[in-house]
Amino acid sequence: MTDGRDSHPHAISVVIPVFRIDEALQPLLDELESLRVTQHSPGGRQFEIVETVLVFDGDQAEQAAQLQGLTAERSHARVVWLSRNFGQHPATLAGMSASTGEWIVTMDEDGQFPPTSIGPLLDCALDTKSPVVYGQPSLVTPHPMWRRLGSWIARTLFNLLVGSNNWARFSSFRLILGEIGRSVGAYCTNETYLDVALSWVSPRSASTKVAYRSEHSTSGYRFTKLLAHFLRMFLTLGTRPMRIFAALGGLAATGGFLLAAALVYRRVVLGFPVGFASTLALLLILTGLILLGLAVLSEYVGLIVRSAIGRPLYVVTANPLDSALYRANTLNDR
């Protein structure tokens, strides 16, 4: 397989969930408009924005009217109207399902993610053969310490429990292979966490550094909303978290049995009293067995959960050699 460049531009759909209209959205749409003509990434790949899918996730008529006005004179922009506020991930999934490009870029409405970074995301995807690429901030984001710490904990936990060593730290600035993104948008259900769903069907992901810009507005994510976001991610991971407790329970039970055997030997053979140590051994054994029992129960519940959250048995894609990840370019070879 040659490491080439594509003979025609990569078609990219941009998906933006819109909760509220502020001064950042119009400049963002103008930037995306300028990328409608063929662009070249830093690595020499050709790409162009073929559409911008704005998903209205608000519930105010005046906001809807403003969004309609912003898109009226922009032929590349269209709106997917949701009946009420469903949240960022459901809105993103709705936009992904409605997209048509061979690649999908998801970004926020606040202008923090520069459209000029789409090229480096595409280079990273093609260089690493990764269907999913995340844009990671090159500098520390200006969020409160508690929020940065919470994000770090959530991402670290995600990478520990996702079940793959080939998964990068996630962010809402993503480049996704179109057929993967639309498949995920089709099967995800109400409480599915988008990045967990992507990990179910994508063999790997990658990340590249992006110079984030300052947010033009105050984030709408308060502590309670971020906590709910975290719980959704945790629950979507299925029974893997419980398996950690099962392992701890097994260690505790094994330690309890070994301690009990040592106490029996100490009492019967050596004739020494056992005292409080016998109570500790009993607690270790019982606690370990309880955790193991809960783990077994969680596996049965997990069968129901995996079905309820929409985890697919399989996803059909095109021949990998025909995919946008592997298409060779005979016109712009290095």
244 and 233 fall within a common domain = no
CA distances from 75 to 72, 106, 165, 217 (A): 7, 19, 41, 26
Count up the domains in the chain and report the number: 2
253 and 293 fall within a common domain = yes
How do residues 246-283 score in pLDDT, each as one tens digit?
777 777 778 778 877 877 777 667 666 656 666 767 77
Work out the burial of residue 245: count CB atoms within 10 Å of its CB; fewer than 13 is exposed, 13-18 middle, 19 or more buried.
middle
Domain limits for position 267: 240-308
43 and 98 fall within a common domain = yes
What token pair was written down for 177?
A: 């292979």
Cβ atoms 190, 308 nearer than 8 A: no
196 and 175 fall within a common domain = yes
Q: Which of 238, 220, 243, 123 is nearest to 172 (CA)?
A: 220
pLDDT at 127: 94
100 and 41 fall within a common domain = yes
52 and 198 fall within a common domain = yes
50 and 192 fall within a common domain = yes
135: β partners: 208
Give the contacts of 179 (CB within 8 A, at least 6 positions apart): 102, 317, 318, 323
115 and 171 fall within a common domain = yes
> pTM of the entire structure?
0.71
How do residues 229-243 score in pLDDT, each as one tens digit?
666 666 666 666 666
Q: Does any domain span residue 331?
A: no
224 and 255 fall within a common domain = no
Q: Does any domain span residue 231?
A: yes
In tens digits, what is the pLDDT along the chain, a chain of 334 residues? 334 455 689 999 999 999 888 888 999 999 999 999 999 999 999 999 999 999 998 778 888 888 988 888 888 899 999 888 888 888 899 999 999 999 999 999 988 899 999 999 999 999 999 999 999 887 755 556 656 666 666 666 666 666 555 566 778 899 999 999 999 888 777 667 788 888 888 888 999 999 888 765 555 556 566 566 666 666 666 666 666 677 777 777 787 788 778 777 776 676 666 566 667 677 777 777 777 777 767 666 766 666 666 666 555 666 566 677 776 543 443 4
What token pair was written down for 327?
A: 């298409």
- What's the rounded Cα separation, in Å, for the pair 268 and 64? 81
How do residues 74-100 score in pLDDT, each as one tens digit?
888 999 998 888 888 888 999 999 999
